[in-house]
Structure 1
Amino acid sequence: MVGSARICRVKFSKSGKSVRFAGKTFQTLSGSGFKSNYFDVETGEHYWISGCRKDGCDALYSTTAEIDEDVREEYWCEIRNLPKNKNIGFIKVSSKY
């Protein structure tokens, strides 16, 4: 199942083994996941969490992505080098594969 993607800021734990976002904690699967690399510690659901890429292949599969308002300008200007797009909040992202 392919879900939507989100481009947002997360907070890493000191150890780097977990990520916090929107009141949820995601822990690394340490390479044992299939098409996932983190799981929600409360629900056990698996997720693919990765950094943004300059080429725009920001998701595991092609899908739509919401770009959070607080990271929009940084994403478009510093990561993608497309400052004219800095007000765009939804995009179609290409797949890594």
Structure 2
Amino acid sequence: MSNLKTRIMYIESKSEGLNGPARIGRVTFSKSGRSVHYAGRTFLKVGGGFKYNHIAEDNGERFWISGPRKDGRDRLYPDSSVPVEIDEDVRDEYWRDIRGKA
């Protein structure tokens, strides 16, 4: 997978409801772009999902995966009290390149 495109993305589980556990992390896209790989799992892109756009290949759980926003308001329902975790290996790059903070 070394030649495949990677990108920092927002990943939120929708299997437990509209505001699920969420994180910012680096994903790898398949050659076709129809699947995303993150943390040893594969997420398949789907159309027509209600509040989700990917499903986990291993168990069918629903996820919203998108590019992170510069303003940090990645959640569909931003008044959620559920924190968004940021993977340690992308933390500096996320704050510098996406959020514009030093």
- Normalising by the residue count of structure 1, what TM-score does the alignment of the two structures yield? 0.79
Q: Which has the higher strand share?
A: 2
Equivalent residue in structure 2 for 1:20, among 37, 58, 61:
37
Q: Runs of at least 4 residues of structure 1 off by over 4 A?
A: none
> Partner residue of 1:52?
68
Is 1:70 equivalent to 2:89 in the alignment?
Answer: yes
- Normalising by the residue count of structure 2, what TM-score does the alignment of the two structures yield? 0.75
Q: What is the aligned length?
A: 82
What RMSD in Å do the two structures reach over aligned CA positions? 1.1
Tell me the percent identity: 57
1:4-43 alignment, distance < 5 Å: 4-29=21-46, 31-43=47-59
Q: Deviations over 1:37-71 (max 9, x none)?
A: 00001111111011111111122233311111111
Give, as a single letter, the amino acid of the residue that structure 2 aligns with 1:53: R
Structure 2 CA distance for aligned equivalents of residues 13 and 61 of structure 1: 29
Q: Is the 8 A contact 1:48 1:60 kept in 2?
A: no
Equivalent residue of 2:65, what SS?
coil
| Post-superposition offset of 1:3 | 1.1
